[in-house]
Amino acid sequence: MCHKLKEVGYKLTPQRLTILKIMSERTDHPNPDTIYSALKMQLPTTSPATVYKTLAILKKLNEVLEIQYSNERNRYDGINPLPHPHISCIKCHNFSDLNLMAYENLLEKMERQTGYKIHSMNLLIEGVCPDCQ
Amino acid sequence: MCHKLKEVGYKLTPQRLTILKIMSERTDHPNPDTIYSALKMQLPTTSPATVYKTLAILKKLNEVLEIQYSNERNRYDGINPLPHPHISCIKCHNFSDLNLMAYENLLEKMERQTGYKIHSMNLLIEGVCPDCQ
DNA sequence: CTGCATGCAAATAGTTTGCATGACG
DNA sequence: CGTCATGCAAACTATTTGCATGCAG
């Protein structure tokens, strides 16, 4: 991530480095506010604007995946920035990746079926997880 | 729709009837603002609040499907209120249903694979439609 | 030392809420 | 005629923007 930022000409500030670290470590798909809280722990004078600006950059560089989540705020995945399916529990709000073997095939199949040149396929499943049932 | 509303005890006001009409006729998955504009044509003194309140009711009664659409505002499908996949063109912003034959099978398969009791599966594909290529 | 990044505050946009008036049943 | 719905305005929330100051390169 650092390399990519530098390469494209962005400065490596402490704020950005910290956000990169957070995004590359967390597996829980944090939203901007969660990221801001984590960032503030280490840099108390930071602002939400910095988080939003940095996420925008990372998103543009495809270093982070933005995930729509019901009517809640967006979540971000900095570990696997390629579009992939997610599953979320409506009770405990657990939010995790979903390994769907047929996913890649599906994409090609869809292109053939629709004639579209597909840029992204977003699949979000919501339900009640085994523990909450 | 009317029947369902009455049944559950909601009053059939001109505003609601007009919104129901709009939602049952439009195939373009309008957002709240589009619905409000269409409503205002027939009832000029109406307000956005009424649209939001009515959509909330219809959504709760499963008479309308709410669709997440990238970072744009939600869209609503009053014709087929059951969750189903959508495909959208990032150039002309066409937004349409997608007939995906394997969809129902996929749901059962997912329940078996994940152990979740699935409430909804939202699939949104974005790309460039044949006309825009 | 030059320009981009930060952080604050203000602005914006979408949606929700409170409440007085009005209309459905 | 009682109750619920409406419509306005204000509140609210999340995000974006403008701008003066500060720091990376």
Contacts with B123 from chain A: Cβ below 8 Å: 121-123
- In order of A33, A60, A77, the CA distances from A54 in angstroms are 13, 10, 14
Protein residue with the closest CA to the C1' atom of nucleotide D13 = A73
Q: Which residue has the higher pLDDT, B86 or B102?
A: B86
Among the residue ranges A5-14, A104-113, B117-126, the one predicted with the least confidence is: A104-113
Output the average pLDDT for chain A.
92
Is the per-residue pLDDT at B104 higher than 80?
A: no
Percent of chain B with pLDDT over 90: 67
- Please state the rounded mean pLDDT for residues A122-130: 90
Coil/strand/helix, residue B76: strand
Which pLDDT does position B120 carry in this prediction? 84
| B70 CA → D24 C1’, Å | 35
Nearest to B130 by CA among B84, B86, B91: B91
pLDDT at B101: 67
Q: Check if A1-78 and A83-133 are the same fold.
A: no
* Spatial contact of A90 and A126, defined as CB atoms under 8 Å apart: yes
Q: Tell me which residue in B123, B124, B128 faces A116 most closely, judged by beta carbons.
A: B128
pTM above 0.75, yes or no: yes
Quick one: average pLDDT of B55-63?
Answer: 96
Superfamily covering domain B83-133: Ferric-uptake regulator, C-terminal dimerisarion domain (3.30.1490.190)
- What are the pLDDT digits (tens) for A2-24? 999 999 999 999 999 999 999 99
Q: A120 vs B128: CB contact, 8 Å cut-off?
A: no
The per-residue pLDDT for range A11-59, each reduced to its tens digit, is 999 999 999 999 999 999 999 999 999 999 999 999 999 999 999 999 9
Domain definitions of chain B by residue range: 1-78, 83-133
Predicted local confidence at residue B92, as pLDDT = 84
Q: What is the distance between the alpha carbons of residues B13 and B48, in angstroms, rounded to a whole number?
A: 16
DSSP A7-73: HHT----HHHHHHHHHHHH--S---HHHHHHHHHHH-TT--HHHHHHHHHHHHHTTSSEEEEETTEE
Q: Given this model, what pLDDT does residue A94 score? A: 86
Q: What is the CATH number of domain A1-78?
A: 1.10.10.10
